[in-house]
Chain A
């Protein structure tokens, strides 16, 4: 064991002061040290995308970063999407379009889609498909996920105006 390092992660606007070994991944830290278990871990080597979070506005695989690298930075996880009982448009769109079955991959898809649509509200459909191809879903299939994200894109564009 190496010495732990004291860091502060700002997750969904809330500071979490934790002490971690440098080898601890951001994904494990978010779940085990900060208690935000909405972020899922599938493969732990960057392939599945279920650990996707938003780091300073960019979607990242949280299993491919060490928590020490996120010290002092702003993270967003699936827990931050809804405002109280009011679901985020992307969450509602996944329900409306049957974009999930078991739900394992869903937090990753929600954070991926949210960040892409926030960064590029008018994203071309081909680019949206390219972005969505980043994550794996083993049970719903991709058509309903794509439908859901297209619906959310329209709603988020409307809300932005």
Chain B
């Protein structure tokens, strides 16, 4: 249970971090952010990086601020930054505070980062679900430049993303939500703080008594979190309530391709998908 040896680098500037990463990435050099996924993987020797580029001391990466109509979350912003809903972030702030309490435990949230979660891409990551449901954009940087990756192109299966080994996820940009947007999150697992077996995040607006612009995202069910257009179609134009919410749940269960593990067969996750979607919708309406 002891990590294998590695060389440690603690750059102070983004340029230095990116230069180092370009050098060490070809030899399985990696970024160390909160360490709350990487260090356990190293303890199990599932990961044996030869170099770690610790970004915790890099100036400017802790930026958490509104840029126009998005919330920009820098690479070293911890999960715990979202414990209390910041009124300046409006509905999005409330949504993030609702979701964050389901991520691991308090002392893990003081270290772990949102960008680290997005880079790690566990199928049951709450932040990955949030990013895809809201349509976030990832800002990836290398020593040579930067590119923006929409969430829809970013997740590529279990623990796999569009990021290249020499790319640092410098920032995630989450769209702010219009005042009055309803949001609901529901997660099922067996112990507090565990990874979700299944979860759903939903947002919608109500226009003339009908649901509009429904976003339905599921996580923990398939290899990557994703939106479910069939469930959204079952909601848009309908009156918010039990009938529409259950229809959206059913529509989800009908189309998912669930992952399996030793304790949870695919059929279980399929049923669960319907339940988490309808419960997230009920919470949004409450």
Contact = CB atoms under 8 A, between A and B. Distances in A.
Contacts of B6: 2, 22-23
B8 A68 contact: yes
A154 interface: no
Interface stretch (A75-83, A91-99, A126-134): A126-134
B1 interface: yes
B180 interface: no
Given A23-B2, A23-B4, A69-B54, A59 B106 contact: yes
B56 interface: yes
Interface string B75-116: 000001000000000000000000001001111101100000
Interface string B1-22: 1111111101000000000000
Given A22-B6, A45-B1, A45-B44, A116 B106 contact: yes
Interface stretch (B35-43, B132-140, B224-232, B244-252): B35-43
A18 B133 CA distance: 47
A130 B110 contact: no
Given A59-B106, A60-B110, A45 B40 contact: yes
A65 B101 CA distance: 22
Contacts of B4: 23
Chain B interface size band reads 20 to 34
Interface string A106-122: 00000010001000000
Contacts, number: 87
A130 B1 CA distance: 28
Contacts of B42: 23
A49 interface: yes
Contact of A49 (B40, B105, B192): B105
Contacts of B106: 59, 112, 116, 130-131, 134
Contacts of B39: 25, 45-46, 63-66
A7 to B, nearest CB: 11
Given A65-B35, A69-B56, A60 B111 contact: yes
A133 B104 CA distance: 10
A58 interface: yes
B107 A60 contact: yes
Contact of B5 (A23, A52, A60, A69): A23
A87 interface: no
6 contacts: A22-B8, A59-B106, A61-B36, A65-B39, A130-B106, A134-B107
